[in-house]
Structure 1
Amino acid sequence: MNRLFHVPLSPFCRKVRLVLAEKRIEVELVEERYWEQDPDFLRRNPAGKVPVLRLGDRLLADSAAICELIEELYPSPPLMPRDVDGRYEVRRLVAWFDDKFHAEVTSNLLYERVNRKVQKTGYPDSKNVKAGAKAIKWHLDYMTWLLDRRRWLAGDEMSLADFAAAAHLSSLDYISDVDWNRSAVVKDWYAKIKSRPAFRSLLVDQIPGFPQPSHYADLDF
């Protein structure tokens, strides 16, 4: 049985979950409290990070590397363009969300509001929360700029870039930190990707101490 060691609201884990589901690869989800540095988990990934995927006889770490390996092993349906420039743009946007968006938004909102409580590391830093709330507006505007010119974030076909963005936004949407009224085009994009079968397992996530907002699993918001 394939296994994904994950944290439900981790955008990096969610990205891998979306790719696996889109490729129709069955996997058992195993929640991992990585911050406790369990020796068994550290043997699976000495970096001490999730996700970690056991895929057949492979033990894989790092969400970007995992997603690209899955794409090579299971090329249908494709999540990377065939042309070199298209693949570059997908990789650029995946890095944008996993690095820049994560540093400026996800870590300042999700990690402050949720991770601190779950990991018992204190109370949210209000300065970080304010910085994240300000930064997400700029990122939504950038997504609007992209989607005004393309059907999907990286081009005319849905790609790994869309899953990377949706992974972060869905985590933040769980704690009602996305203003969907800021951009109609981003809201329409999210509604399209949210209604895909691959998204279903994310919409049933329940985090103890953090009840789902009423709109979270509503495909029509």
Structure 2
Amino acid sequence: MDLTLHHFPLDPASRQVRLALGEKRLPFTEVQVRYWERPREFAKLNPSGMTPVLVAGDGDDRLVLCEARAILGWLEEAHAEPALLGREAAERAEARRLIQWFDRKFEYEAGGFILHEKMEKRLLGLGAPELANLRQGREGLKNHLFYIDGLLQAREWLAGRRLSLADFAAAAHLSVIDYFGDVPWADFPGVKTWYMKLKSRPAFRPLLNDRWPGLNPARHYDDLDF
């Protein structure tokens, strides 16, 4: 079945899906979407205008899956191996909890502030970043890094013994912030080691090649031994 992913490269939700597709070794065609311009053809696929959208197949058998939660769930059911939600019920539940944590709480308290000021304002031509919002986002980011560090002191991966979609959710959010050089890795060596393990996986390499005109990454962004 042909897969086409409509996405924005610096969108954490899109990155979660790209990581899952890469880990499952599923080839797909990429269509980059300037979602803030609300392109008409994309709106036909997803009326919310939100990325990502995965189109599976074509013609009468075409399946359109909108946004990360639906796409990731379908991938786990339609392409079960490797399992990315865990083998045991408890690990699957914890992975789901952490995905929700990063997509809602992390985004609300940290990522949303930083990415709005550093990325969205530049894409939309809304002027210079507001320092107060950046400070709030960076403070929230530190609180979440402390939380991640605590999880990793008790577990090999965030949800348990195995790599899961929880790790990809966290890494997707952190990787976009890291693109702009705002993650204080030196203060969290355990989290940095975990991120380096993820960064070295083949599924992660396409993300390290991401570039967007007018938005240059930090020097260490694509360095595996940063």
TM-score range, shorter chain: over 0.9
- Contact kept, 8 Å, 2:84 with 2:165, in 1: the verdict is yes
Q: Secondary structure at the match of 2:30?
A: strand
Q: Secondary structure at the match of 2:154?
A: coil
Amino acid at match of 1:22: E
TM-fit CA distance, 1:154:
0.4
Distance in 2 (CA, whole Å) between partners of 1:218 and 1:94 is 26
Greater shift after overlay, 21-30 or 77-86? Answer: 77-86
TM-superposition CA deviations, 1:85-126 (whole Å, max 9, x none): 211100000000000101111110012111111122333232
User: Which 5+ residue runs of structure 1 have no aligned equivalent?
Assistant: none
Distance in 2 (CA, whole Å) between partners of 1:38 and 1:212 is 26
1:121 aligned onto 2:122: no
Corresponding residue of 1:148: 153
Distance in 2 (CA, whole Å) between partners of 1:114 and 1:208 is 11
Corresponding residue of 2:46: 45
How do 1:29-108 residues align onto structure 2 when only pairs under 5 Å count? Answer: 29-56=30-57, 57-108=62-113
Corresponding residue of 1:212: 217
Greater shift after overlay, 76-85 or 118-127? Answer: 118-127
Distance in 1 (CA, whole Å) between partners of 2:71 and 2:133 is 30
Amino acid at match of 2:206: S
Distance in 2 (CA, whole Å) between partners of 1:214 and 1:121 is 25
Distance in 1 (CA, whole Å) between partners of 2:97 and 2:63 is 27
Q: Secondary structure at the match of 1:40?
A: helix
1:169 aligned onto 2:208: no
Distance in 1 (CA, whole Å) between partners of 2:138 and 2:22 is 30
Q: TM-score, normalised by structure 1?
A: 0.97
- Contact kept, 8 Å, 2:181 with 2:217, in 1: the verdict is no
Q: Secondary structure at the match of 1:148?
A: helix
Distance in 1 (CA, whole Å) between partners of 2:156 and 2:87 is 17
TM-superposition CA deviations, 1:144-165 (whole Å, max 9, x none): 0000000000001000000000
Q: TM-score, normalised by structure 2?
A: 0.95
Number of aligned residue pairs: give it.
221
1:109 aligned onto 2:145: no
